[in-house]
Homo-oligomer: A and B are copies of this chain.
Amino acid sequence: MYWQQELETMPVEALRALQLSRLQTSVRRAITSPYYQQLYQQRGITADDLNTLDDVKRLPFTTKQDLRNGYPYGFLTVPKTEVVRLHSSSGTTGQATVIFHTAADIRDWANLMARCMYMTGARNSDVFQNMSGYGMFTGGLGFHYGAELLGMLTVPAGSGNSKRQIHYMKDFQTSVIHIIPSYALHMISVFEEEKVNPRDLHLRIAFLGAEPHTEHTRKRVEDAFGVKAFNSYGLSEMYGPGVAFECPEQNGLHIWEDSYFVEVINPDTLEPVADGEIGELVLTTLTREAMPLIRYRTRDLTSISSEPCPCGRTHRRIARIKGRSDDMLIIKGVNVFPMQVEAVLMSIPEVGTNYQIELETVENIDVMTVNVEVRDDFFLGDVKGLTALQQKITNALKSEVLFTPKVKLVEPDSIPEAQGKAVRVIDRRVAH
């Protein structure tokens, strides 16, 4: 049932006590890095100021920009001889960020990943196909190390080459996959082309990571592949995947509070929001050695629930990510998240597997065009049907975003496939 029963089902009070003691250690360690040393000295903060978890509010936030300013070694707390791995964001020098790991960090990360996957029912009898890029992208090596630790037979397939992926699934009787949601949707049409029904294979579990996605996307993947699909949440600033993961209840993602101290704040006021209210997730590493981060603003929008979970785990649950605070588009003065558009589209059965939002300025006015791939069978239908579908989508989007977008229906597979994360928004607007 549990990978680490004692930690996963720890009574909440004991968990909070563990967090406090780890938080103190983590802050004490962070203060040995050049960045935090200077900052905390300036503000007159020491680890002794932390007597309760509530005292965390005295500590300043850490932002992506702080990481950029500290690039490359500003946040490092150990000699370089103790560092065995780094993951760096792309981006030209000056805008890049980098995260360092000791050997213990790598083991800790692998253990969290194994815990996540074991929670969903993955076992050492499973064959795990990791359909995710390796190298700098933390999704690849993160799932890989966790799967090997769990003892699954790991197929390091990497991303792309869909036909070969299908070969591997058949030949090795793959039962568990890790896949980016947009690639999973794309694979559905590849299976159709190859005349292979994924439900006839041995697949039973899919981990969907690296991109926020909707409940409808999950359902589509589950129906097409014949699997249970679990939502994976993480970010490279906190190792990578393994921060929060769905349990078999599929009702929110348990966020591992023995490894992370969790806050949800209003991104404008920076004050905590109540349980169930949407805000920005703020995380503090509790176990990381090489590079502790204190009150890191993830920019991911979610809400948190303290409701007990039937699975028995006591770690709180975050909701599906609603978007990123900096993904928010302001269109005609209205706040729109690409995820809202996706949620609407994926709820309409005639809609295919890909879409794209284009923004332009026409006579000083924002124009949003949504290009929507239509399923093969519907696309070959009569023009009347297509016009009705276009109207249906337009109305559904309008009632979500409160203005009328342009909707263009396009053929299946006509929107270019992205390498890696899908490009959902093309913004060609002129700055006002």
Which of B98, B125, B171 contacts A72 (CB under 8 A)? B171
Q: Is the interface of A mostly helix, strand, loop or mixed?
A: mixed
A151 contacts across to B, CB distance below 8 A: 81-82, 84, 103
Question: Are A172 and B134 CB-contacts (below 8 A) given A92-B167, A125-B81, A141-B156?
Answer: no
> Is A325 in the interface zone, CB < 8 Å from B?
no
> Is A403 in the interface zone, CB < 8 Å from B?
no
> Is A90 in the interface zone, CB < 8 Å from B?
yes
Contact in complex: B167, A93 (CB < 8 Å): yes
Contact in complex: A85, B154 (CB < 8 Å): yes
Q: Give the docked Cα–Cα distance between A127 and B71 (Å).
A: 16
Q: Give the docked Cα–Cα distance between A317 and B100 (Å).
A: 38
A80 contacts across to B, CB distance below 8 A: 125, 127, 153
Kindly provide the distance from the CB of A132 to the nearest chain B CB, expressed in whole angstroms: 9
> Is A203 in the interface zone, CB < 8 Å from B?
no
> Is A277 in the interface zone, CB < 8 Å from B?
no
Interface string of A82-107 (1 = CB under 8 A from B): 11111110101100101010010010
A148 contacts across to B, CB distance below 8 A: 84-85, 103, 106
Q: Give the docked Cα–Cα distance between A171 and B100 (Å).
A: 14
Kindly provide the distance from the CB of A262 to the nearest chain B CB, expressed in whole angstroms: 28
> Is A68 in the interface zone, CB < 8 Å from B?
no
A398 contacts across to B, CB distance below 8 A: none
Q: Give the docked Cα–Cα distance between A84 and B83 (Å).
A: 26
Question: Are A172 and B85 CB-contacts (below 8 A) given A151-B103, A153-B80, A158-B135?
Answer: no
Q: Give the docked Cα–Cα distance between A124 and B79 (Å).
A: 10
Residue of B nearest to A94 (CB): B171
Contact in complex: A86, B172 (CB < 8 Å): yes
Residue of B nearest to A158 (CB): B135
Kindly provide the distance from the CB of A157 to the nearest chain B CB, expressed in whole angstroms: 7
Residue of B nearest to A161 (CB): B90
Contact in complex: A83, B153 (CB < 8 Å): yes
Q: Give the docked Cα–Cα distance between A103 and B152 (Å).
A: 10
> Is A415 in the interface zone, CB < 8 Å from B?
no
Q: Give the docked Cα–Cα distance between A87 and B158 (Å).
A: 12
Which of B72, B82, B135, B164 contacts A134 (CB under 8 A)? B135
Starting from the known contacts A72-B171, A90-B164, 19 additional A-B residue pairs (CB-CB under 8 Å) come to A72-B172, A81-B124, A81-B151, A82-B124, A83-B153, A84-B148, A84-B152, A85-B148, A85-B156, A86-B153, A86-B154, A88-B171, A93-B170, A100-B153, A134-B135, A134-B156, A135-B140, A135-B156, A141-B144
- What are 14 A-to-B residue pairs whose CB atoms are below 8 Å? A81-B125, A84-B152, A84-B153, A85-B148, A87-B156, A90-B164, A93-B170, A96-B171, A98-B172, A134-B135, A134-B141, A134-B158, A136-B158, A141-B144
